[in-house]
Amino acid sequence: MTLRAGLALTLGAGLGVAVLAASPRAAAEPAGDAERGRAVFATKQCARCHRARGEQGIGPVLADLRRPQGAFELAGRLWNHAPAMFTAIRGEGLEWPQMTQAEMQDLMAHLQADPARDPAPDLAKGEAMLVRKGCLKCHSLRREGGRVGPELTERRADYESAVIWATRMWVHTPRMAEKARELGLLYPRFVGDDMGNLVGFLRSVAR
């Protein structure tokens, strides 16, 4: 069976329920603390690059980062931002800032990310995203695809919430971006509900 046929069969088997529920949302989790998130933003030295509008900085201004948005939407923006940020940090001889799950939760609260703003994931779009963004060039799904990254159906913990997903991405994205550059692969970018759709699909097929 081909990879595309296998993915189609997987979706078809559960699509009736998925259409009604649009795939189960991630488990509810306590909201982060925006004030603690402000401290995380400061201690991780985010303000070195992200400054108030009108002040000179090499990254997007704080007002563009800190706005009402979905949690998976912000996770996608963090993913997009990581390679340029990694390059800038390395150019200044600094270490990539580590981030715990609790710190990420508070930082996302500070940046006004709210899971309630994320629409229910569209599984069909998530499946298409997996193929179109080239995820299977490095990762495998049910043992079909790349062998560089982990098998996607075996990482359920990553899919439980936007906070867990964003934290894991934060830790691993610099290495993934470097590997993509090494292999000559185009680093994928996510906008709007792309990331939520992708994670929703992965959650639906995870063992």
User: What is 95-140 written as a DSSP string?
Assistant: PPPP--HHHHHHHHHHTTEEGGGSPPP-HHHHHHHHHHTTGGGT-E
Other C-beta atoms closer than 10 Å to the C-beta of 140 total 19
Contact 49, 58 (CB under 8 A): yes
What pLDDT, on the 0 to 100 scale, is given for residue 109? Answer: 97
Residue 7 makes CB contacts below 8 A (sequence gap 6+) with 127, 130, 131, 141
Mean pLDDT across the chain, nearest whole number?
82
Phi, psi (degrees; rounded to nearest 5) at 171: -70, -40
Asked if residue 14 belongs to a domain, the reply is no
Per-residue pLDDT at 164 exceeds 90: yes
SS3 65: helix
Percent of the chain with pLDDT over 90: 43
Q: What is the torsion angle, in degrees rounded to the nearest 10, for the CA atoms of residue 77, residue 80, residue 84 and residue 89?
A: 60
Asked if residue 3 belongs to a domain, the reply is no
SS3 151: strand
Asked if residue 19 belongs to a domain, the reply is no
pLDDT interval class at 158 (50, 70, 90): confident
* Cα(166)–Cα(152) distance, integer angstroms: 16
Asked if residue 55 belongs to a domain, the reply is yes
H or E element at residue 90 = helix 71-91
> Whole domain around residue 119: which residue ranges?
32-205
pLDDT interval class at 149 (50, 70, 90): confident
Asked if residue 161 belongs to a domain, the reply is yes
What pLDDT, on the 0 to 100 scale, is given for residue 205? Answer: 92
What pLDDT, on the 0 to 100 scale, is given for residue 182? Answer: 86
Asked if residue 190 belongs to a domain, the reply is yes
More confident residue, 38 or 53: 38
Asked if residue 198 belongs to a domain, the reply is yes
What pLDDT, on the 0 to 100 scale, is given for residue 30? Answer: 66
Give how many domains the chain has, as a whole number: 1
More confident residue, 60 or 73: 73
Per-residue pLDDT at 17 exceeds 50: no
* Cα(26)–Cα(48) distance, integer angstroms: 33
What pLDDT, on the 0 to 100 scale, is given for residue 28? Answer: 55
Asked if residue 106 belongs to a domain, the reply is yes
Please write the tens of the pLDDT for every residue from 173-206.
778 878 888 888 888 899 999 999 999 999 999 8
